[in-house]
């Protein structure tokens, strides 16, 4: 039999032990079916045993102890090393770290290979590793590979569920959930970040989830987008009250046209300030307005105690990954001038 701490919750399609995930819908329904999330009515599942202590240093985490840091999403053309080199060349000079995401509808090179490409191009990489498409053995292999190529850290996530229209017939694994993956990564010595969605149900449990993720070995929490800096401040304060002492990086929505804004608004667990979105899209020059809005949001978030950096998140532009990189680089450069 599996130990009690490793037995998935009955009825959870993601086979989570330490739920809920960040994709719970506003009405409490599961991301993957029409049933209520099975974690909504029960007490939070606690991390068993002593806290896991990571051992490997991280340049981003070290810098964050001295000054605010900028982590930028790395959006590239899938399976295209030349695209990786172009985008890294634009972002690496102005960002403290580059975050490689993982998307159900946009697969790319395996994480270790992708990280090696980014490092080879001169980027400092944080790699997102998701449980959706890998069993425990493959996750262990990827963690070992990421440590070997020298990533600055790994963002451990359960992973968004694949919609019925995305690669129908392809299975979803979920051997582990994000917290168990964080414990595994920390136990292997990697610097570990974890996500949290402050405004996804059940809102009242999420601050304490951060404390449990820290007990599993997390050194950093990357927050999904929320509707206002005030909500971030309230969440960080609540997480501190629940026992979390790790630093936070807050998500900054970067968009300069309607497609790049709407894709963020549709993403599970994310919230954007709708009034700001519409003001940007109605501006005479949405590109200038979008960059200004991202800079203003970032500055407000960096003023919150406990927030040590921002994550420039989103594609930035619907005109291609190279243009999106230029948008995020301009936001980062403007922030650097103000810090």
Residue 46's pLDDT is 92
Q: Minimal CA–CA distance to 254: which of 233, 237, 272?
A: 272
Helix (H) / strand (E) element for 79: namely: none
211 C-beta neighbours (distance < 10 Å), count:
21
Q: Rounded CA gap, 111 and 100, in Å?
A: 8
What would the pLDDT profile of 273-309 be if each residue is shown by its tens digit? 999 999 999 999 999 999 999 999 999 999 999 999 9
Contact between residue 268 and residue 224 where contact means Cβ atoms under 8 Å apart: no
Contact between residue 99 and residue 311 where contact means Cβ atoms under 8 Å apart: yes
Q: Minimal CA–CA distance to 20: which of 268, 296, 272?
A: 268
Q: Rounded CA gap, 7 and 306, in Å?
A: 34
CA 285 to chain centre: 29
253-287 exposure pattern, b = at least 16 Cβ within 10 A, e = fewer: bbbbbeebbeebeebbbbbbbeebbeebbeeeebb
Contact between residue 169 and residue 216 where contact means Cβ atoms under 8 Å apart: no
The answer for residues whose C-beta is within 8 angstroms of residue 169's C-beta and 6 or more apart is: none
Residue 189's pLDDT is 93
Residue 162's pLDDT is 86
Q: Rounded CA gap, 98 and 103, in Å?
A: 16
- Tokens 């159900």 -> residue: 104
CA 253 to chain centre: 12
3-state secondary structure of 126: strand
Contact between residue 74 and residue 99 where contact means Cβ atoms under 8 Å apart: yes
Residue 1's pLDDT is 30
CA atoms within 13 A on the CB side of 137: 0
| Rounded alpha-carbon distances, angstroms, from residue 288 to 269, 282, 295 | 27, 12, 11
Q: Two tokens at 93? A: 């000079």
132 C-beta neighbours (distance < 10 Å), count:
18
Residue 339's pLDDT is 60
Q: Rounded CA gap, 258 and 213, in Å?
A: 35
Spans of the chain below 70 pLDDT: 1-5, 338-339
CA dihedral 15, 19, 170, 109 (to 10 degrees): -120
Q: Rounded CA gap, 74 and 129, in Å?
A: 14
Which residue blocks in 80-135 are alpha helix, DSSP H?
A: 81-91, 111-120
The answer for residues whose C-beta is within 8 angstroms of residue 230's C-beta and 6 or more apart is: none
Residue 7's pLDDT is 86
Contact between residue 219 and residue 194 where contact means Cβ atoms under 8 Å apart: no
């Amino acid at each position: 039999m599996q130990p009690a701490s490793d037995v998935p919750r009955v009825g959870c399609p993601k086979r989570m032990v330490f739920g809920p995930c960040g994709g719970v819908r506003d009405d409490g329904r599961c991301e993957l079916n029409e049933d209520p999330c099975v974690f909504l009515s029960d007490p939070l599942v606690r991390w068993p045993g002593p806290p896991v202590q990571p051992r490997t240093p991280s340049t981003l985490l070290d810098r964050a102890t001295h000054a605010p840091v900028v982590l930028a999403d790395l959006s590239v053309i899938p399976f295209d090393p030349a695209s990786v080199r172009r985008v890294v060349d634009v972002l690496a000079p102005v960002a403290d770290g580059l975050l490689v995401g993982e998307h159900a509808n946009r697969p790319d090179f395996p994480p270790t290979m992708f990280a090696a490409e980014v490092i080879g191009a001169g980027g400092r990489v944080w790699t997102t590793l998701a449980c959706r498409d890998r069993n425990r053995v493959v996750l262990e292999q990827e963690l070992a590979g990421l440590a070997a190529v020298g990533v600055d850290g790994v963002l451990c996530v359960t992973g968004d569920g694949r919609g019925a229209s995305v690669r129908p017939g392809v299975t979803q694994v979920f051997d582990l959930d994000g917290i168990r993956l964080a414990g595994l990564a920390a136990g292997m010595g990697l610097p570990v970040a974890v996500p949290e969605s402050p405004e996804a149900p059940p809102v009242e449990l999420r601050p304490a989830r951060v404390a449990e993720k820290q007990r599993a070995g997390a050194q950093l929490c990357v927050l999904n987008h929320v509707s206002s800096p005030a909500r971030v401040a309230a969440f960080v304060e609540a997480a501190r009250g629940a026992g979390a002492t790790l630093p936070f990086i807050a998500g900054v929505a970067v968009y300069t046209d309607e497609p790049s804004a709407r894709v963020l608004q549709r993403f599970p667990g994310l919230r954007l300030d709708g009034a700001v979105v519409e003001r940007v899209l109605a501006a005479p020059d949405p590109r200038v307005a979008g960059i200004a809005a991202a800079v203003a949001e970032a500055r407000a978030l960096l003023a919150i105690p406990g927030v040590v950096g921002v994550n420039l998140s989103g594609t930035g532009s619907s005109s291609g990954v190279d243009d999106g990189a230029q948008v995020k680089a301009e936001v980062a450069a403007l922030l650097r001038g103000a810090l």
